[in-house]
Structure 1
Amino acid sequence: MIRRKWNDNWVMTKADESPLMAAMGGVSEQNVLTLPHDAMIHEKRTKDTKNGHQTGFYPGGCYTYTKMFDAPVEWQNKDIYVEFEGVYEHAKVYINGSYAGGHPYGYTEFSVCANDYLNYGRQNMLQVIANNSGEENSRWYSGSGIYRNVNLHVGEPVHIAVNGIRVSTPEIDEEIAVATVKVELVSIASVRKKVTLETVIKDQNGDVVGKDSMPVTLFARTKEQVFARIGVEHPKLWSVEEPNLYTVEVYVKEGGDKLDEGKEPFGFRCLSLTAQKGLRINGKNVNLRGACIHHDNGIIGAATYERAEERRIQILKKAGFNCVRSSHHPISRALLDACDREGMLVIDELFDCWTKAKNNNDYSMDMSDYWEKDAKQMVAKDYNHPCVIMYISGNEIQEAATARGAQMCREITNKLHELDGTRYVTTAINGLLACMDRMGDIICDITGMTMEQMIAMQSQPPEPEEASSAQGGVDQANGNTDFMKGPMADAFATNHIVTEMLEEFADITDLTGYNYLTARHEMEHTLSPNRIVLGTETLPSDLVRLWKIVRENAHVIGDMTWTGWDYLGEAGSGCIYYDGRQGFMSNWPISVAGMGDIDILGNRRPISYFREIVFGLRKEPYIAVERLEHYGEMPSHSAWPWKDELESWTWKGYEGKPCVVNVYSDAEMVELFLNGTSFGKKPAGEPEDFYASFELMYEPGTLTAVNYRNKKEAERWNLTSASNEVTLCAEADRRSIIADGSDLVYIMISLKDEKGTKNLQMQKTIDISVSGEGTLIGVGNADPGTENHYDYPIWDTYDGYLLAVVRATNTPGTITVIAASEGMGSQKIEIKTEAR
């Protein structure tokens, strides 16, 4: 069956409002919405919500979505399915008042068969209750409501099942590749039917490169699985560098009539994984340059739009990543489609917990009853996507060091292999959480203390922490930092008690994923020569060591940093504080994590360019300046942040005051100039962790960093001060979008001087207005501590930027966006919306 979006003309009401009134038209026109929709992002944040920092102080709620629709009489002898790609959470679906189905998990798809509930030839009412009122059910910003697409499937008496086409590519060489197409056919007819199944493979140009036709007899009310094996000559393989896609088209015909059809993109690519050769794609070694990401789309909340996901993947790939890990839940179809097109590898994740809770109302309460169905749904969604190379069955599972945990791991791993034998399975192990029951024994073993001595020491008040550098040093952190990075972390990771506790669990999956256990990566080859390791979650500050381990050890296939993109929730966990705060449990009004290579608007932070250099993808040096207003102050922060710095040499009011300038480089030596005056050469490159720091007095002008290779000048890079005479600059990422009710345009607003240099220091209040065939769905900056609302049109720039997101209507025409600021005038942008 063809998947058709069914997102128009829904009405959302809250639990304290009347869904019946909504169904009867007792709501204003402005309440009618087009999905996807995140209700949580529009709620009022409050510091006393039980969700607290976990969801960014956004409260949950219970929401009813109602859609009135006609069911044509000709549907009467057909299968009608409504497919939900994601409802957060505990969804219940009612058709004409009768319960038709539901699903507790907020991240896996589910379908409801509507046949028995429809009034044919009349108007019908579909209601979906999304109950996210159980607070403390997520460790991050979850969103609420129908936040992904709803699709309608209409099946003829003989049709292709929902997710009924699966393509595998078991044989590939340069001359020919084989695509095995499995089709699940369904007959709801009361008599035997003989049909013809036609399968066609097309390349990216739409040319037919392979086809097959076969007769199939279906008996009354039965299902059949039919296989077509099709050879494609001189296949263009899918890879990160060349993401070549094909499309399989399947047609069910009776006589000359077409009963049904289905289309699925796929790619020819083969995977291999060994401790001796690492990960190979199409016979070539690939090290995973990975980014963990959450599912929210920043200032527009959890709503999943195709363009939002595409933009995110494009920016991440441009920043040097070749793999994303969905943290910690199944990824959206839209993001998978984007990864297929852009050439981004995907590690899709099933759960954040199994039976042992991390939060009072999390999915541990339902996991035992629903995990198998969730696994089936995740695999059904992912199967045809060449970007997907691996599944993670669980993140930081607390049962990992127990016999029961190992048994559960075997059960889930075997099920994923049964569902999909073409991909690998792992878990993401956090040794600290898994081995918590024996932490006392482990610490005593590491330190040589007795248990009595350790207890006595813990009863003493802690010594004040010292900053590791004058400005945002990466080694100081709060909480469990000692067990995440540094000598104590390494001693913990390699401790024999930890090894013994994790051994059975780690041996079950195809490869072993470790969160923050860097010191184990190399030693695993000695302990178990066939074991393959992936850093499933790692610290940015540990990047240099991690990547050296990956380069030098075939059994270590990559590094997935936490995190690639900043996100809502876990608020303040990556922020750097100068007010004496410790930890991030009480940090109202912060709403975002405050970490990540890419900020919440999609702008690259300095750590992103540093990572690009460490990966060997950038030869030019890069200049980052630590914030002058905090020079010499003692910061506090968790283990996750990088340095508190900007790509800016505009610091009005700090003339003649000291500052720290960091030059990132893979060259042997770097030299820093300010307005032509040299501040000397310093060693850089890998021996110096790829950077050199300079301390100097600020004066406006131009900083120049110069690389020296083999004692000769090589690459250089400049950073120039902006003047105070700036103009408002609004730049749309596209000037033409599709009038389909869901396409987006992103408008980045900045302040530039007459030479085009951005002034990141200056702050201006901007008013955004939208008219024509578009709707403003989000405005915001990257300030983690803002109390503004992302659906409010008036915002200040922060670190030089402001972002507005506009959504197209269903009507072709023009969208007019005006950005205005007092004393600076306005700038108008027009975007064309065109029919698909």
Structure 2
Amino acid sequence: MIKADFNAKWQFVKGYVPSLKVLQIYGKKAQEVTLPHDAMIHETRDENTKNGGATGFYPGGMYTYFKTFSVPEDWEEKIVLLEFEGVYETAMVYINGALAKTNRNGYTNFYVDIARYLNFGEENEIKVVADNSAEENSRWYSGSGIYRGVSLYVGEPVQIPLNGVRITTEEADKDVAVVEISTKVLNRSRKKEKLTIIAKLEDEKHRVYEDRVHLTGFAESENTVHQQIAIEHPMLWNCDTPHLYQCTVQIYAGDKLLDEQTISYGIRKITLDALRGLRINGEPVKLRGTCVHHDHGILGAAAYEDAELRKCRLIKEAGFNSIRSAHHPAGKAFLDACDKVGLLVMDELTDMWTVHKNNHDFAFSFLDEYQNMIKNMVEKDYNHACVILYSVGNEIQEIGTERGAELNRMLCNAFKELDSTRFTTNGMNALNAAGAKVYPIMQELAPLIRKDAEKVGTNDNSGSNAINSFMKLMEGEAGDAFAAHPIITEVLEESSESMDIIGLNYLTGRHLLEGELHPNKCVLGTETFPADIARLWKVVNSSNRVLGDFTWTGYDYLGEAGCGIFYYDGKSNFGSHYPDRTAYIGDIDLAGYRRPVSFFREIVYGLRTEPYIAVERVDKYGKKCSKTPWMFKDNIASWTWCGYEGKPAVVDVYSNAPEVELFLNGRSLGRKPAGVEHGFTATFELNYEPGVLEAASYQNGMETGRCQLGTADEDVQIHVEADKKELQANGEDLCFLTMNLCDAKGTANLYEKRRIHIEIEGEGILAAFGNADPQSIESYDASCWETYDGYALAAVRAGDKKGAVSVTVWMEGKEEQKQKITIPVN
């Protein structure tokens, strides 16, 4: 089938509108938008929305989209389909006024057969109603509307149907790869056709490998053709070298090309066993993973290809090699980006089964919809080299019950029946699984819980800290005892046995125990606390059957607002405090800035040999703040603290070397132990003095690396960096502009704040502008934002005409220092 981009020139209206004519009667106009489009991010945040902090105080709503398009007369005998990759939440698709499809799951791609409703040789109207008005349906920022792309498919009577090509790597090593290409061939005509099916694989060096077979396609028949291609010295796909082949399948009748389909495909073979762990192409791999939500910060949930690619690149550059799609099926653009960048993916089915986590969540529909959800998910994922795991759920409430174990087995089996090449897991949280049985465990472990609380200086169990008291069961000494408790073994046992990989959320103390209980199984930390990485990675490295971990989380996100905000005003986390907007627990913040925990993690992974300096915010020294197990430290890589000269400062030096030394303006402040035996951290307390702060690391008395921070001069300038040199005139391409404050020498100034203005002219628009402040009040539609920790971020979207887009940036009150960047649009 021929695929066409169908994202341009949609008409958008907030609320339900029967037709554009009705809108005109009332003297109103629709807004023209190019998909993907997140309607929620353009709403005014509301302190009183029922969604509260779950969506960052963005309200839900109902939205209507229209699109008119001409249908040629010769389409009358053809197959015409629309694919919606994601509409949140419930979608109703009308063609010329007739309801053609209803889809209830906001994260599942779906298809609409529209041929029977079309008027051939005329203009036709599509109307999509996106209903996200039932608030409290998501625990995170969901977005609203048609937030992923839409495609139009047109097929001849003889065709490769949608998802009709499956590519499987049968063998793969450095010498030989064998790839099987299975193609469905559909003949909807009433005559027999003599067909030739040609399958080709083309590598990055334009070497082509080909196979052809002949098929008699009888009238009104469907056949499957299997073709094997052997490749000598293949270019294999893995995290370090994500090589992609172009697979093209063509159907000919004589010399006439009837249909073709081209797919990017990475040749790789994954294997799993309890003795050798996870291997890709025969090489062992530990999963350095992160969970991520699907939004893109200032852009909301709109799944632009460039936004997905940028996020994946930043995550990969920070040392991660794998991503868990939390907690829903990943979008196609995201999987394409992971294929290109070289990130492994755990694709997740859902956040709930039959027990609600929100008043209006998908538990209402799960049993009716799960089979179709799994089918669509496997069809979407099958040809993506990046996808290695299917997760059937996240912290499912009923997982520890007999019925929950039955459902878990049903779901894992459903995936295995459709795709035997990948592995299944489930992110099990023992607190959910234990249910009421958790209370006798808490009573038994109360002394350890109090002991751990005293270590961090809090015994407050009121308000949201009551939640944290439960979470104390999942960290520290009490956490390990809880994880290994016989009651937890009892409730997890049956579900653990029916999945390929035992997935554990916040149960580090159980990873090695599972190896004793299930010696033929592998174990994975499907969700873990960020600050637990040093201890956890020791466990990962101690056993082949422990595959790795997925931290919560590698990239900050909208919603679950305040989970990791450092409150110095007495507030507690998880309290849903307006104007909190983001979770603020990402290794990377919304502007793309790597926070110190990111470099700490990179050192623990063994990927960075140089030390790293992190400074606890000097302006917050001695102040009490809130703390949850998801929070690391309120520190930053800055030695610019104007007005705090002579005031005390706490400095951490992260290093994998056993010893580090700290220098201030050339004076040694002494050496301290670091490395694995001391949590990779040496802490120094000193008085702030402007100048140069420098750390050196030592192994066996020999220096192994240095890192330094300098104080920025008082003159504040703005540095602007674009991540693209040109844009394509398709209405969807994005260029991200990172702005940071510095002095004339380029030394970053993360302490000062400045309001930044941006102006766009030419063939492009400002798609979004903002910063990483978790408590900001401005709209991402605004053209003026204040920096946060020295940074701001803008996204410029190309128009659909060739030319150039000019971006002018300046600091408020410094118009004479305007900077202009011109980006060609080709």
Alignment of 1:670-709 (within 5 A): 670-709=660-699
Deviations 1:726-785 (A, max 9, x none): 222211111212221111000011122111111111111111111111110110011111
Instruction: Give the aligned partner of residue 193 of structure 1.
Output: 193
- The within-5 A match list for 1:431-580 is 431-447=430-446, 467=457, 478-580=468-570
Name which of structure 1's ranges 655-664 and 730-739 shifts more when overlaid on structure 2: 730-739
Structure 1 SS opposite 2:345: strand
How far apart in 1 are the matches of 2:175 and 2:456?
Answer: 63
Counterpart of 2:163 in structure 1 is 163
Residue 574 of structure 1 aligns to a residue whose secondary structure is: coil
User: Which amino acid counterpart does residue 343 of structure 1 have in structure 2?
Assistant: G
How many angstroms apart in 2 are the aligned matches of 1:733 and 1:468? Answer: 45
Equivalent position of 1:181 in the other structure:
181
User: Please, which of 795, 806, 815 is the counterpart of residue 805 of structure 2?
Assistant: 815
Name the counterpart of 1:424. 423
Q: Distance in 1 between matches of 2:366 and 2:25?
A: 38
Q: Secondary structure at the match of 1:738?
A: coil
CA 1:466/1:514 → structure 2, altered by over 3 Å: closer, same or farther?
closer
Counterpart for residue 351 of structure 1: 350
- Which residue in 1 is equivalent to 2:362? 363
TM-score between both structures, scaled by the size of structure 2: 0.96
Shift of 1:531: 2.0
Q: CA deviation at 1:468?
A: 7.3
- Using the TM superposition, give the Cα deviation of residue 174 of structure 1 relative to its aligned residue in structure 2, in angstroms: 3.5
| Whole-Å separation in 1 of the counterparts to 2:634 and 2:288 | 23
Residues 731/498 of structure 1: CA separation in 2 closer, same or farther (3 Å cut): same
Aligned 8 A contact 1:270 1:281 in 2: yes
Task: Tell me how far apart the structure 2 counterparts of residues 359 and 495 of structure 1 sit (CA, whole Å).
Answer: 29
What secondary structure, in the 3-state scheme, does the structure 2 residue paired with 1:687 have? helix
Residue of 575, 578, 601 corresponding to 1:588: 578
Match of residue 472 from structure 1: none
Q: Which amino acid aligns with 1:294?
A: H
Question: C-alpha separation between the residues in 2 aligned to 1:815 and 1:693?
Answer: 48
Say whether 1:220 aligns with 2:212.
Answer: no
- Correspondence for 1:642: 632
CA distance in 1, matches of 2:236, 2:772: 39
Equivalent residue for 1:460? Answer: none
C-alpha displacement of 1:446: 3.7
CA distance in 2, matches of 1:94, 1:745: 34
Find out whether 1:832 has 2:824 as its counterpart. yes
User: Distance between the aligned counterparts of 1:592 and 1:632, measured in 2?
Assistant: 25
Change (3 A) 1:832 1:515: same
Q: For residues 466 and 533 of structure 1, what CA distance do their matches in structure 2 show?
A: 30
What residue number does 2:142 align with? 142
Q: Compute the displacement of 1:441 (Å).
A: 2.5
The percent of aligned pairs where both chains have the same amino acid is 48
Listed as ranges, the gaps of 5+ residues in structure 1 are 458-462, 470-474
Aligned partner of residue 161 in structure 2, secondary structure: strand
Return the alpha-carbon distance in structure 2 between the equivalents of residues 273 and 265 of structure 1: 25
- The count of corresponding residues between Structure 1 and Structure 2 is 818
Question: Does structure 1 residue 291 correspond to structure 2 residue 290?
Answer: yes
Is 2:623 the partner of 1:633? yes
Check whether the contact 2:79–2:115 (CA below 8 A) recurs between aligned residues.
yes
Q: Which moved more, 1:141-150 or 1:253-262?
A: 253-262
How far does residue 464 in structure 1 lie from its aligned partner after superposition? 10
Residue 586 of structure 1: CA displacement?
2.8
Post-superposition shift, 1:23? Answer: 8.2
Corresponding residue for 1:738? 728
Q: Which amino acid aligns with 2:624?
A: M
Q: How much has 1:478 moved relative to structure 2?
A: 3.4
Partner of 2:387: 388
Distance in 1, matches of 2:155 and 2:194, equals: 17
Q: Which amino acid aligns with 1:415?
A: A
Distance 1:789 1:647 in 2: 28
Q: For the residues of structure 2 that align with 1:237 and 1:287, how far apart are their CA atoms?
A: 18
Structure 1 residues 476, 46: CA separation in 2 closer, same or farther (over 3 Å shift)? closer
- The change in CA–CA distance for 1:139 and 1:322 in structure 2 (over 3 A counts) is same
Residues 68-107 of structure 1, C-alpha deviation per residue, up to 9 Å, x if partnerless? 0111101100000000111111111110011111211111
- Partner amino acid, structure 1, of 2:186: V
Distance, in Å, in 1 between the alignment partners of 2:724 and 2:27 is 35
Aligned to 2:462: none
Residue deviations 1:277-336 (CA, integer Å, cap 9, x gap)? 111111111100001100001100000011111111111111100001100011111111
One-letter code aligned to 2:411: I
Change (3 A) 1:16 1:256: closer
Q: Counterpart in 2 of 1:132?
A: 132
In the alignment, the residues of structure 2 paired with residue 79 and residue 254 of structure 1 have an alpha-carbon distance, to the nearest angstrom, of 19
Measured on the aligned residues, the alpha-carbon RMSD in Å equals: 2.1
**Shift in CA distance, 25/165, structure 1 to aligned 2, threshold 3 Å:** farther
Instruction: Give the counterpart letter for 2:486 in structure 1.
Output: H
Q: What TM-score results when the alignment is normalised by the length of structure 1?
A: 0.95
Matched, 1:15 2:15: yes
Change beyond 3 A, Cα 1:478–1:441: closer
Q: Which of 479-488 and 38-47 deviates more?
A: 479-488
* 1:675-718 Cα deviation digits (max 9, x unpaired): 01111100000111001110001010000101111012221111
Counterpart in the other structure of 1:309: 308
Q: Deviations over 1:331-384 (max 9, x none)?
A: 111111111111111111111111111111111111100101110111111101
- What SS does structure 2 have at the residue aligned with 1:353? coil
Q: What is the CA–CA distance in structure 1 between the aligned matches of 2:575 and 2:62, rounded to whole Å?
A: 26
Q: Are 1:58 and 2:48 matched, yes or no? A: no
In structure 2, what residue type is equivalent to 1:659? A
Contact 1:674 1:703 in 2 (8 A): yes
Partners of 1:661 and 1:753 lie apart in 2 by 23
> Conserved in 1, the CA contact under 8 Å of 2:13 and 2:30?
no
Name the counterpart of 1:38. Answer: 38
Post-superposition CA distance 1:31-57 (Å, at most 9, x none): 111100000000111111000110111
Give the letter aligned to residue 380 of structure 1: E
1:479 CA displacement: 4.7
Contact 1:467/1:634 (<8 A) preserved = no
Cα contact 2:760–2:766 (8 A) shared by 1: yes
Taking the aligned partners of 1:175 and 1:683, their CA distance within structure 2 comes to 47
Shift of 1:443: 2.5
- What is the rounded CA distance, in whole Å, between the counterparts of 2:188 and 2:409 in structure 1? 38
1:476–1:468: structure 2 CA closer, same or farther, 3 Å change rule?
farther
8 Å contact kept, 2:579–2:775: yes
Contact preservation (8 Å) 2:552, 2:630:
yes
* Native 8 Å contact 2:12 2:30 kept in 1: no
516-525 or 7-16, larger mean C-alpha shift: 7-16
- Counterpart in 2 of 1:712? 702
SS at match of 1:126: strand
Residue in 1 that maps onto 2:84: 84
Cα pair distance change 1:22/1:159, threshold 3 Å: farther
Residue number among 658, 675, 680 corresponding to 1:668 in the alignment: 658
Contact 1:598 1:605 in 2 (8 A): yes
Tell me how far apart the structure 2 counterparts of residues 756 and 186 of structure 1 sit (CA, whole Å). Answer: 62
- How many angstroms does 1:187 deviate by? 2.0
Conserved 8 A contact 2:87-2:147:
yes
Cα distance in 2 for residues equivalent to 1:186 and 1:813? 43
Q: For residue 399 of structure 2, what is the aligned residue in structure 1?
A: 400
Look up the match of 1:342.
341
Q: CA deviation at 1:465?
A: 10
Aligned counterpart, 1:6:
6
Tell me the SS of whatever aligns to 2:761.
Answer: strand
* The 10-residue stretch of structure 1 (397-406 or 434-443) with the greater mean CA deviation from structure 2: 434-443
Q: Give the match's secondary structure for 2:818.
A: strand
Q: 1:464, 1:716 → 2: CA distance?
A: 36
Work out the CA distance in 1 between the residues paired with 2:454 and 2:185: 68
Q: Secondary structure at the residue paired with 1:610?
A: helix
Q: Equivalent residue for 1:798? A: 788
